[in-house]
Structure 1
Amino acid sequence: MLLDLKGLNAIVTGASKGIGHATALTLAREGARVTLVARHADTLATAAAQIAEETGSAPDTVAADLATPEGIDRLAARSEPVDILVNNAGAIPPGDLQAIDENTWRTAWDLKVFGYINLTRALAPRIAARKGVIVNIIGAGAESLSPDYICGAVGNAALVAFTRAYAKQFKAMGGRIVGLNPGSVATERIQLFLKARAAEKFGDESRAAELTASLPYGRPASPREISDAVAFLASPRSAYTNGTVLSIHGGG
């Protein structure tokens, strides 16, 4: 299926690795002009070079800490038109209520929750003017609501509510906003964690796959399985989808 993304301008946050990098690569493969955003210029340069090598199109990069007003302003100050915004930056640590102190909670939410909200506020009028779309990559923690991931569960649930609550106003402005809740995804960070856990539990990091055997289909999702869904939701092929949050967790 042709997604009709050629020539559209996309911003992907948290794009130096993991789901964000996979999403930027997928959008570039589909012909979008992509801007990668993350905190560190060196990792952004590496990610941009990888995408340019595969697609023949060199992405722009913006090094910005989206947990801060200055980072939001730096990205919003760019004059280029925006058709697609993929909010993806942020990783919230696990832990129960006693383990996650106030400073940890606030720091995590400054990027993952308020970063999404503030960047949406900053760019929404420009996106709506081009009948564009915002895709919030949130997380299945919004649905499972585990007490051992309480900061992430509550933050993700808030972003699901934000996506749905803002959809009517954004539709009236001319845009669309949707969300996506991935379950376990085989990002580099998760794979390193699983190897370390296997070495600790079995004395052999090569047995990492045993730790995910109980997941649906015996494995986590691949980053591309998530990024392909993002690209479809962001495309004109999904033009009637607004206020929807898609779950991709294998039915587990």
Structure 2
Amino acid sequence: MDLKLRGKSALVTGASQGIGAATAEVLAEEGCDLHLAARNAAALEELARRLRQEHGVDVQVHPADLRRPEDLTRLADAVPDIDILVNNAGDIPGGTLDAIDANTWRHAWDLKVLGYIDLTRLVYARMRTRGHGVIVNNIGVAGERVDANYIAGSSGNAALMAFTRALGGGSPADGIRVVGVNPGAVATERILTLMKKQSGSSSGDESRLTSTFPFGRAAEPREVADLIAFVASDRSAYTSGVVFTIDGGLSATAG
């Protein structure tokens, strides 16, 4: 399916690996020019080189720590004319209320929660001036299937779900769509490490950890990235203020 993204431009944060890198790949395949942001400059440069070579799109990299207000401002100033923003950078650790101290909680939220909100604020103002744009927030199913053992993540994701719905409900008046995506467990290094920590396993037996999941596996990053690209495209032009869950049906089960 042609998503009609050719010639458009997108900023993807957290683009050096996992869902962010997969999203960059899908958008490049569709002919979208890219701005990629993350802290790992070397990984960004390698991904950008490959995407330029394989897909013939323009790719620019922006090494940045999105916890830092000055980096957020610099990034927004460097991409004044983007059509799509994909907020994806995030790293909230697992743990109970007693296990996550105040500094750890704030450090995590500065990137995943406030980083999304602050970058959206900067980019939204520019999109509103132009009269169009799409913002996709990659959030996480823990915001709807809350978990006391992932309390900082569940709370942060729930906040971002509310933010997405509140902003996306009014944004069509400015010609802008705001949409969320809630992945369940995805086969990225970070998620597998988190799962092992929560289960108490150090064996590396990923099949045992995922055997109770729908279809007996975690989602692939590409499966989430395909959904992000679709909702960012004009094929989903009447969609705003909603959050799509992609967890193999797990959130639809009782308990």
Same fold (TM over 0.5): yes
Tell me, in whole angstroms, the C-alpha distance in 1 between the residues paired with 2:163 and 2:202.
39
Which residue matches 1:209? 207
Is 1:18 the counterpart of 2:18 in the alignment?
Answer: yes
Instruction: Choose from 235, 246, 249 the match for 2:247.
Output: 249
Q: TM-score, normalised by structure 1?
A: 0.93
Displacement of 1:77 after TM fit? Answer: 1.2
Q: Where in structure 2 are there 5+ consecutive unaligned residues?
A: 251-255
After superposition, residues 149-168 of structure 1 pair within 5 angstroms as 149-168=150-169
Q: 1:195 to 1:157 in 2, by over 3 A?
A: closer
User: What does the per-residue CA deviation read over 1:220-246, in whole Å, with 9 as the maximum and x for residues that have no partner?
Assistant: 001110000000000001000000100
Structure 2 residue 226 is the aligned partner of structure 1 residue 225: no
The residue number in structure 1 matching 2:101 is: 101
Residue 87 of structure 1, CA deviation: 0.2
Structure 1 residues 79, 241: closer, same or farther in 2, change over 3 A? Answer: closer
Provide the rounded CA distance (Å) in 1 between the counterparts of 2:202 and 2:172. Answer: 50
Q: 1:152 to 1:193 in 2, by over 3 A?
A: closer
Q: Distance in 2 between matches of 1:210 and 1:65?
A: 35
Q: Is the 8 A contact 2:178 2:241 kept in 1?
A: yes
Compared CA separation, residues 51 and 72, structure 1 to 2 (3 A) = same
Matches within 5 A, 1:57-206: 57-78=57-78, 80-128=80-128, 129-191=130-192, 205=204
The farther-off stretch of 128-137 and 238-247 is 128-137
Question: Could you say what secondary structure the match of 1:42 adopts?
Answer: helix
Q: TM-score, normalised by structure 2?
A: 0.91
Does structure 2 retain, via aligned residues, the 8 Å contact 1:52–1:58? yes
Name the aligned partner's letter for residue 5 of structure 1: L
Q: What are the Cα deviations for residues 28-66 of structure 1, in whole angstroms up to 9, with x where unaligned?
A: 100100110001211211221232343233511001111
CA RMSD of aligned residues (A): 2.1
Q: Given residue 81 of structure 2, which amino acid in structure 1 is its aligned partner? A: P
Greater alpha carbon shift after TM alignment, 165-174 vs 234-243? 165-174
Tell me the secondary structure at the aligned position of residue 78 of structure 2. coil
Question: Any idea what SS the aligned residue of 1:34 has?
Answer: strand
| Superposed displacement of residue 173, structure 1 | 1.2
Provide the identity percentage.
52
**For the Cα contact (< 8 Å) 2:181–2:245, is it kept in 1?**
yes
What's the offset of the Cα at 1:101? 0.5
Alpha-carbon separation, structure 1, partners of 2:155 and 2:97 = 11
DSSP-derived class of the 2:222 partner: helix
Which segments of structure 1 move beyond 6 Å, counting only runs of 4 or more? 192-198
Distance 1:36 1:79 in 2: 10
Change (3 A) 1:7 1:180: same
- Kept in 2, the 8 Å contact 1:82–1:130? The answer is no
Conserved in 1, the CA contact under 8 Å of 2:22 and 2:221?
yes
SS of the residue 1:100 aligns to: coil
Over residues 181-221 of structure 1, what are the superposed CA-to-partner deviations in whole Å (9 max), with x where a residue is unaligned?
Answer: 000111233456778999x565xx4x421220110000000
The alignment of Structure 1 onto Structure 2 pairs a total of residues equal to 249
CA contact (8 A) 1:183 1:221 kept: yes
What is the Cα deviation at residue 104 of structure 1? 0.4
Query: 1:111 is matched by which residue type in structure 2?
Result: L
